């Protein structure tokens, strides 16, 4: 469904669980004319997610689908899949969606679902990435946009941004600098997908402009400082 920037905007659904700052970055890029997408729905598993307020302020339909209302993870994912299929998204964007998705759900959106993770994958999949980077004595940290597969935070990576770990950093300060970079790389990766430049092929390779990536791109190389 992706096409040239002049074509019909790509329909997108965004899944959130919290503040929705990456959702806001997408909304802002769309409003600025930098992102040819139409966010058709924002869905949260938590009714108190502030991202729902952000979506409502932008006039985007919202839905709450609480995982607490379902007996199993599979039952929840089946209901979530039905909600998404009704929206008919060309791309599903996970923006702080704190749920481990079942393989069946992931398979239904293969090649059209993104996640952003606050580490330089494959380092530190899962939670508490900033503290783990500090505990390991890393000198740099960052964030990664990747296609979603049924391996937790293990899908093919597209784009990364790096930040230095500074003397005196704690997890909160480091997280804030990483988040600022997330707000840069997520709209960029979505734009590549929406304009037809980026896709996942049948062999699981990331193709950008028809060329397979052997490693995720670095933001500093794409947009030099």
Structure tokens, 85: 């299929």
Strands 140-147 and 113-117: antiparallel
Active-site annotation, residues: 117
Nearest-angstrom CA–CA distance, 29 and 167: 33
Nearest-angstrom CA–CA distance, 48 and 118: 22
Burial of 175 (0-12, 13-18, 19+ CB in 10 A): middle
Coil, helix or strand at residue 222: helix
Nearest-angstrom CA–CA distance, 35 and 187: 7
Strands 198-200 and 206-208: antiparallel
């Amino acid at each position: 469904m992706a096409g040239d920037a002049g074509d019909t905007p790509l329909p997108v659904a965004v899944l959130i669980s919290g503040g929705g700052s990456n959702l806001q970055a997408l909304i802002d890029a769309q409003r600025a004319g930098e992102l040819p997408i139409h966010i058709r729905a924002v869905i949260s598993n938590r009714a108190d997610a502030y991202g729902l307020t952000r979506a409502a302020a932008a006039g985007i339909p919202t839905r709450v689908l609480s995982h607490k209302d379902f007996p199993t993870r599979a039952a929840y994912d089946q209901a979530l899949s039905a909600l998404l299929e009704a929206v008919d998204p060309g791309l599903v964007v996970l923006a702080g969606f704190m749920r481990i998705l079942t393989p069946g759900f992931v398979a239904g959106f293969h090649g059209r679902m993104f996640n952003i993770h606050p580490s330089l994958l494959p380092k530190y999949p899962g939670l508490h990435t900033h503290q783990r980077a500090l505990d390991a004595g890393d000198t740099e940290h960052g964030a990664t946009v990747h296609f979603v597969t049924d391996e937790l935070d293990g899908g093919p990576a597209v784009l990364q941004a790096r930040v230095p770990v500074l003397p005196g950093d704690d997890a909160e300060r480091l997280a804030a600098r990483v988040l600022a970079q997330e707000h840069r790389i997520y709209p960029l990766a979505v734009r590549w997908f929406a304009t037809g430049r980026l896709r996942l092929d049948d062999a699981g390779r990331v193709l950008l402009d028809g060329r397979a990536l052997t490693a995720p791109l670095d933001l500093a190389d794409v947009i030099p400082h």
